[in-house]
Amino acid sequence: GLPAEVTIWEVGARDGLQNEKETVPLEVKLEFLRRMADAGLAVLEATSFVHPKWVPQLADAAELIDGLDQASGVRYPVLVPNQRGLDRALDAKVRDIAIFAAASETFAQRNLNSGLDEQFAMFEPVVGRAVGEGIAVRGYLSMCFGDPWEGPVPVEQVVATGKRLLEMGCHQLSLGDTIGVATPGHVEALLRAFVAAGVGVDEIAVHFHDTYGQALANTATALRHGVSTVDSSAGGLGGCPYAKSATGNLATEDLIWMLDGLGIQHGVDLGKLVDTSVWMAEQLGRPSPSRVVKALSS
């Protein structure tokens, strides 16, 4: 059945901004995060400690973490791919990280300069060290439904790869539809396969991109299967620089509109968040693709 409460894992500042053509100034990023915290979002994925040549938009990761109001009780997880990234994150006093694995061989190559099996050798010491320091580690798994180079990704391959992340010590597995090709039947099949393989829905989060307009339908399906952590980005910002045809994430405002309709608690002030996305759209010079932002701001 449906959960009574959903944790929104807001990825706008990371997934949303990693793909911007023009680098967003640090002050704008910090203001964006402050406004989202003020709107009531309790988990704000802030940035990535990846190679600055690979993702120049997030090269200011250390300065950004330094500028956050850490006392506010909000969680600010960051992406970390390898030991060098973890060193940088620990230097910045980060206490919450996410590693990001690929469910397909080609994406492991393109996004991590690694391989489907090889990537685990990169992540294992990161997770081991982080967990040893009492740091929570989320495991992302990308291309869980389809891959732009390989086509549909087999459910068994996704489940096997995802289970390895949990067994390695990740507290949560976020199933990524990086290019937005999932549909509700596929979501249901994948969730059933994970449960059949012994993974609890409480360990699973969903991360849908909205390329084909299916993100909200897919999320509704996941909620009906008991998933209670949903990734989304304010205003529907986003995309992955290493996956062609990836567009923005499910918009947080669209998610909230649906949660309100279903009577599911989320703790966010929709009006404040819409104002934030309108403000951010002005900073970026283009309107938000979110239908709810459009409807509530016109």
Residues making contact with Mg ion (CB under 5 A)? 15
Question: What x-and-dash track marks residues 206-245 binding ligand HMG by CB under 6 A?
Answer: -x-x------------------------------x-x---
Catalytic residue among 33, 80, 127, 240: 240
Q: Which of 31, 62, 88, 297 binds ligand HMG (CB under 6 A)?
A: 88
Instruction: State the nearest-atom distance from the C-beta of 100 to Mg ion, in Å.
Output: 9
| Contact flag: residue 81 with ligand HMG (CB under 6 A) | yes
Is 240 tagged catalytic?
Answer: yes
| Contact flag: residue 76 with ligand HMG (CB under 6 A) | no
| Contact flag: residue 145 with ligand HMG (CB under 6 A) | no
Number of residues in contact with ligand HMG, rule: CB under 6 A? 26
| Contact flag: residue 48 with ligand HMG (CB under 6 A) | yes
What is the SS3 string spanning the chain? CCCCECEEEECHHHHHCCCCCCCCCHHHHHHHHHHHHHCCCCEECCEECCCCCCCHHHCCHHHHHHHCCHHHCCECCEECCCHHHHHHHHHCCCCEEEEEEECCHHHHHHHHCCCCCHHHHHHHHHHHHHHHCCCEEEEEEECCCEECCCEECCHHHHHHHHHHHHHHCCCEEEEEECCCCCCHHHHHHHHHHHHHCCCCHHHEEEEEECCCCCHHHHHHHHHHCCCCEEEEEHHHCCCCCCCCCCCCECEHHHHHHHHHHHCCECCCCHHHHHHHHHHHHHHHCCCCCCHHHHHHHC
| Contact flag: residue 111 with ligand HMG (CB under 6 A) | yes
Q: Which is nearer to ligand HMG, 37 or 122 (CB)?
A: 122
- Applying CB under 6 A, which residues contact ligand HMG? 15, 18, 48-51, 54-55, 79, 81-82, 84-85, 88, 100, 111-113, 140, 142, 176, 178, 207, 209, 240, 242
Residue numbers annotated as active site: 240
